[in-house]
Amino acid sequence: MLGKKLVTAQKRGETRALCLGLGMVACSMMMYFFIGITIVPFYTNSVWTTETVCKVLKANIKDKVFCPNSEGSEDEEIFPYPCLQVWVNLTASGQEVMLYQTEDTLERNPKCSYVPDKLENPKEVKTQIETIASNFKKYQTFPCYYDPGGTQTNVILSRLYPSKGLLFAFLWPTFMFTGGCLIIVLVKISQYVSVLSAWQ
161 pLDDT above the threshold of 90: no
Q: What is the pLDDT of residue 10?
A: 61
Which residues contact residue 137 at a Cβ distance below 8 angstroms, ignoring those fewer than 6 apart? 56, 59
Cβ–Cβ under 8 Å, residues 88 and 99:
yes
Question: What percentage of residues in the chain have a pLDDT greater than 90?
Answer: 24
**By mean pLDDT, which of 7-16, 49-58, 72-81, 164-173 is the weakest?**
72-81
Question: What would the pLDDT profile of 92-126 be if each residue is shown by its tens digit?
Answer: 677 889 999 998 888 888 888 998 877 667 788 88
The whole-number pLDDT of residue 119 equals 64
User: Of residues 63 and 25, which shows the higher confidence score?
Assistant: 25
- The predicted model gives 162-179 an average pLDDT of 88
pLDDT of residue 101: 92
Separation CA 97–CA 2 (nearest Å) = 80
pLDDT of residue 46: 84
Residue type, 195: V
pLDDT in tens, 32-59: 999 988 888 888 888 888 888 999 998 8
Report pTM: 0.69
Residue 72: pLDDT above 50? Answer: no
pLDDT tens for each residue of 172-188 = 899 999 999 999 898 88
Torsion-angle region of residue 72: left (phi > 0), alpha (psi -120 to 50) or beta? left
3-state class of 4 per DSSP?
A: helix
Residue 32: what pLDDT? 92
Strand, coil or helix: 116: coil
- Give yes or no for a contact between 57 and 88, defined as CB atoms under 8 angstroms apart: yes
**Amino acid 76: pLDDT:** 45
Q: Which residues contact 119 (CB under 8 A, 6 or more apart)?
A: 125, 128
For the cut 90, the answer to whether the pLDDT of residue 196 exceeds it is no
